[in-house]
Amino acid sequence: MKALLLLLLAQLCSPSLVPEREKDPEYWRGQAQETLRDALRLQRLNQNVAKNLILFLGDGMGVSTVTAARILKGQLQNRKGEESLLEMDKFPYVALAKTYNTNAQVPDSAGTATAYLCGVKANEGTVGVSAGVTRDRCNTTKGQEVTSILRWAKDGGKAVGIVTTTRVTHATPSAAYAHSANRDWYSDGEMPPDALEGGCKDIARQLVENIPDIEVILGGGRKYMFPKNASDVEYPHEDKHRGTRLDRRDLVQAWHDVKPPGKVAKYVWHRRDLLALNLSRVDFLLGLFEPGDMVYELDRNNETDPSLTEMVAVAIRMLQKNPRGFFLLVEGGRIDHGHHEGKAKQALHEAVELDRAIGLATRLTSPQDTLSVVTADHSHVFTFGGYTPRGNPIFGERENVSAVDFGKPFTSILYGNGPGYKIVAGERENVSAVDFAHANYQAQSAVPLRQETHGGEDVAVFARGPMDHLLHGVHEQNYIPHAMAYAACIGSNRAHCNAAARPAVTVLLPFLAL
């Protein structure tokens, strides 16, 4: 045991692990002074009116996921990783958001989406409604609907868009336009008879009918738009991808039909057609690239399916045509799915792709008129640790120096619960006997569950652009859209915007006085 401990200390202190420049104290002093100069520059607040708003949502992207994604990004660039910067790391203001639902200590993605999009906390499993609605109870919905910042932006004359790697009817995007007592009512084929008889509408139908003039909708979810048993255009022989609608409606056609005369509406399902569009001649764009959720980035067919970054590029260029600006919701939704499946490699590559999209959006916009916010709906019981040495592969293992576990190695990445729990011959599985670097490897967990669960801790909020300083400290999650709306002079709180489009130095005085 003593020998193993000495070996561990020797590895951690090995000079080969330390980049040469980091051995010089002046490197760290200079880095700190540069950071100090950046911080001092922030004293000059950006109080412009935000013409554009972009909300990037990493579904399930808790702080541990952000850190691990940062290391992965650096290691993909052949660096050690820990010293790397994500694009969101470069945003000047950071806050924490409390994620609980009104009826849940550890939240789900529907109640949280209602908070950060509609500005109202809600019960788990419900979208776009107040906490007066009980999950599954259609008859509790009427009069409890709440509107989102996407609606506020549209009412303010801005263009609006939704981009997601999940189905476009999933929890996060649906809170932008729908009001439902159950997040899973994607089409009428998923609704119980009492909800249909009670007059509740499925989420796909609400996408087409509630706010028919959303300029850009990109993601997955084709099968919820087409009649039951209708063959999918891409997978015509696979039954699981067939249409699900009991009302036999073609909602893509319905989406076309509600557009104003003279306006050009384009529907695409293939990456080639998306990238070939002449966006100057398109007024409305619907892209549905998979029957359900889009494929993990690591598994994506880059001929048929666009990346999140490519979809964001198209969306921003479409929305920028509106001289009054835009609101864009961007969701990296499959970070969450990777974690639920215990597949950390899939989850972290999804997070890196979201960060790539953030970088692209940063280059296409200016912080002088665009407020960008990056956050998560909730965390996961995902962790990495074990005194691993500097530069250790983020998906790598660590030798165990404890006789308690028979000296078996373990991966740095672990889950508190989930499908990765395995006992072999009465002992924890020896990870040296499996391919733990495989994309679909399920990391070990402490408690056996079919699906890993969300975590309940606060999530980070990164902000850059006009009035970004309003996102600071620790906030309730529902504060986020109110701050963004205030910055853009949309929604109900517009008293400070009466003097036309001036950078309102006086705007903050009441806040400062408090």
Q: How many CB atoms lie within 10 A of CB 264?
A: 11
Computed from CA positions of residues 383, 385, 391, 393, in that sequence, does the dihedral angle turn out positive or negative? Answer: negative
Is 340 known to sit in a ligand binding site? yes
Cβ burial of 236 (10 Å; 0-12, 13-18, 19+) is exposed
Asked whether 430 and 408 are in contact (CB, 8 A), the reply is: yes
Is 184 known to sit in a ligand binding site? no
In which residue are the tokens 């912080």 written? Answer: 367
Among 14, 16, 64, 109, the one annotated catalytic: 109
| Catalytic status, residue 109 | yes
Is 377 known to sit in a ligand binding site? yes
User: Which three-class secondary structure state does DSSP give residue 384?
Assistant: strand
CA–CA gap between residue 201 and residue 148 (Å, rounded): 18
What is the Rg, in whole angstroms, of the alpha carbon atoms belonging to the chain? Answer: 24
Asked whether 150 and 329 are in contact (CB, 8 A), the reply is: yes
Is 83 known to sit in a ligand binding site? no
User: Which three-class secondary structure state does DSSP give residue 284?
Assistant: strand
Is 469 known to sit in a ligand binding site? no
CA–CA gap between residue 459 and residue 99 (Å, rounded): 7
What string of DSSP letters covers 89-148?
Answer: GG-SEEEEEE--BTTBSS--HHHHHHHHHHSS---TT-BSB-TTSPTT-GGG-TT-B---
Is 179 known to sit in a ligand binding site? no
Asked whether 129 and 144 are in contact (CB, 8 A), the reply is: yes
CA–CA gap between residue 293 and residue 435 (Å, rounded): 27
Q: Which residues fall in the annotated binding site for Zn(2+)?
A: 59, 336, 340, 377-378, 454
Pick out the residues of the known binding site for Mg(2+). Answer: 59, 170, 172, 331
Catalytic residue ranges: 109
| Bind-site residues | 59, 170, 172, 331, 336, 340, 377-378, 454
